Structure formats: structure tokens, C-alpha cells
């Protein structure tokens, strides 16, 4: 079972920031928050991940609450090409027997960027 | 540019046929994964491999087998295809340890008639 809860869909105006929320209230201390997205007819694409500090890269920013029970992915200036399904995933950072890096994808949030 | 390639984008097979889906990565990754994606069910892990000739069952291995004879290639085999195996199949790879990002291929849309 996915350990995260996301809204099924969101709209965002082109050029504006897109803020995608994710709840992960049962996250464990050794679990990271990962974000992937999937553009129609393509394989998923890694965006960003973090443990407890906020993270930023060339694609997005990840804000994790202090209690780590929720997070927000921020696309600072959304474009039409950012229209995709966004997946929030929690998983351990180090593998253990029977848990070698598998990603559990839930239903995700369908982000529609509108002109 | 790093790449995961899959042998076909679209495939149509008949019930009972043996089906091979091939995945090749050029990143020298140790881990490779096979997922299927169905509407309303998200991605589900079928099998994964963390080394040549090593494999582990994922969440839905029934009706599938895999082969990893070379580091760069991971094959998914449907021994006797059935209509409920109609799906999008996605291959991914990652560095050893599994905590690095997974790189996905473009997917193979398989239809079993």
C-alpha cells in the first residue's frame, strides 16, 4: 500500500507556482520523501527527494514540515510541459533484505497547467 | 545522456503466447526493475534484480518470470500470456543500494487478445 495521500487533481496557471501537497503521517525516521512525475505516454521521471531539510534543484523545491508528516513540492514557474501526474513516495534510504529500492506509487496528483 | 530502452513501444499478442519484453540500460546500474501500470492501480512491482543472475519477486510476480544474464539487460517473460496481462510495462534501473533515483524506460504497451 502507498503510504502517502495526495489530492487527485490540481490546476495551475502557466507561469505561476504550482504547490503540490502530500500527506505521509506514518513516515518512519529512516524514510525519505521522493517525488516523481509521469508525463503522458512516458515513463516516470525523478524530480527530487529529501529527509527533513528543505531541498531545491533545477526542477523544483521540496518543503518538508518539521514533524515530517507532510510535504509540498513546488514548481516555481509552471509551464505547459509540466502537465503530468505527480507521485509522492516514501521509502527507506538504505536497502534491507527484501526491500531493495522499490518504489511504491500511489495514485498521484494530476497537475494541469493552463495557459 | 543516460538511457533505459525497451524493445517495443507497442506489442500485440494472443492468449497463450510466450512473450519476451527486453530492457537495456547504459548506465552500468546494478539494480533493475519491472513494473506494470494499470489505470486506478498505479505502478506495481513485478520483479527486480540487484545483480547479474539475481532476482527477487515484487508484489505481483504470478504469471511472470525474469532473466538477468548480463548487467545491462533485464528481460521480463510472460510464459503464457493472458488477457489480464494487458498493461503498460515499465522497466527501471538504479545504482546499487537502491537509494538513488530510478531511471525509467518509455514503457511497452502490451495488448493480449
Average per-residue pLDDT for chain A: 89
| Pair B107, B38: CB distance under 8 Å | no
Q: Region B42-51: what's the mean pLDDT?
A: 88
CA distance A110 to A29: 28
pLDDT score at A15: 96
Chain B residue numbers with beta carbons less than 8 Å from the beta carbon of A98 are 56
pLDDT score at B97: 64
Q: Where are the beta strands (DSSP E) in chain B?
A: 4-6, 10-13, 19-25, 31-38, 42-49, 56-57, 64-70, 73-78, 87-94, 103-104, 108-112
- Tell whether A92 is within 8 A of chain B (Cβ): yes
CB atoms A100 and B101 under 8 Å: no
**Maximum pairwise Cα distance, chain A:** 47
pLDDT score at B65: 97
The more confident residue out of B82 and B50 is B82
CA B36 to chain centroid? 8
Q: Region B58-72: what's the mean pLDDT?
A: 95
Residues 6+ positions from B112 with CB-CB distance below 8 Å: B12, B13, B14, B15, B17, B19, B81, B82, B83, B85, B86
CA distance A13 to B111: 37
Q: Region B19-29: what's the mean pLDDT?
A: 95
Question: How would residue A101 be classed by pLDDT, with cut points 50, 70 and 90?
Answer: low
pLDDT score at A2: 58
DSSP states of A18-78 as a string? EEEEEE-TT--TTEEEEEEEE-TTS--EEEEEESSS-EE-SS-EEEE-TTSSEEEEEETT-
> Nearest CA of chain B to the CA of A14: how many Å?
26
CB atoms A101 and B94 under 8 Å: yes
Question: How would residue A1 be classed by pLDDT, with cut points 50, 70 and 90?
Answer: low
The more confident residue out of A71 and B43 is A71
pLDDT score at B41: 81
Query: Given a cut of 80, is residue B1 above it in pLDDT?
Result: no
CB atoms A102 and B92 under 8 Å: no
Q: Which of A83, A88, A77 is nearest to A110 (CA)?
A: A83
Return the H-helix or E-strand segment holding A84.
strand A84-92
The more confident residue out of A3 and A76 is A76
Residues 6+ positions from B77 with CB-CB distance below 8 Å: B18, B19, B20, B21, B64, B65, B66, B67
pLDDT score at A75: 97
pLDDT score at A100: 55
The more confident residue out of B54 and A95 is B54
State pLDDT tens for residues A61-94. Answer: 999 999 999 999 999 999 999 999 999 998 876 6
CA distance B3 to B24: 8
Amino acid at each position: 500500500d502507498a503510504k502517502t495521500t495526495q489530492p487527485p487533481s490540481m490546476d495551475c496557471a502557466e507561469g505561476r507556482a504550482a504547490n503540490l501537497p502530500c500527506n505521509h503521517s506514518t513516515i518512519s525516521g529512516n524514510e525519505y520523501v521522493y517525488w516523481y512525475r509521469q508525463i503522458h505516454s512516458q515513463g516516470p521521471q525523478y524530480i527530487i527527494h529529501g529527509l527533513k531539510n528543505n531541498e531545491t534543484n533545477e526542477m523544483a523545491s521540496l518543503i518538508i514540515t518539521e514533524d515530517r508528516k507532510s510535504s509540498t513540492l513546488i514548481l516555481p514557474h509552471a509551464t505547459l510541459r509540466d502537465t503530468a501526474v505527480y507521485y509522492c513516495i516514501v521509502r527507506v534510504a538504505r536497502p534491507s533484505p527484501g526491500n531493495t529500492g522499490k518504489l511504491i506509487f500511489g495514485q498521484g496528483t494530476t497537475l494541469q497547467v493552463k495557459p | 545522456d543516460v538511457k533505459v530502452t525497451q524493445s517495443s513501444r507497442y506489442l500485440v499478442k494472443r492468449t497463450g503466447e510466450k512473450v519476451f519484453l527486453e530492457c537495456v540500460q547504459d548506465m552500468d546500474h546494478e539494480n533493475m526493475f519491472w513494473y506494470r501500470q494499470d489505470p486506478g492501480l498505479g505502478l506495481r512491482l513485478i520483479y527486480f534484480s540487484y545483480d547479474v543472475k539475481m532476482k527477487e519477486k515484487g508484489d505481483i510476480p504470478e504469471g511472470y518470470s525474469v532473466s538477468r544474464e548480463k548487467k545491462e539487460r533485464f528481460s521480463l517473460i510472460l510464459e503464457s500470456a493472458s488477457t489480464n496481462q494487458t498493461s503498460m510495462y515499465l522497466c527501471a534501473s538504479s545504482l546499487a543500494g537502491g537509494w538513488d533515483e530510478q531511471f525509467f524506460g518509455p514503457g511497452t504497451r502490451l495488448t493480449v487478445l
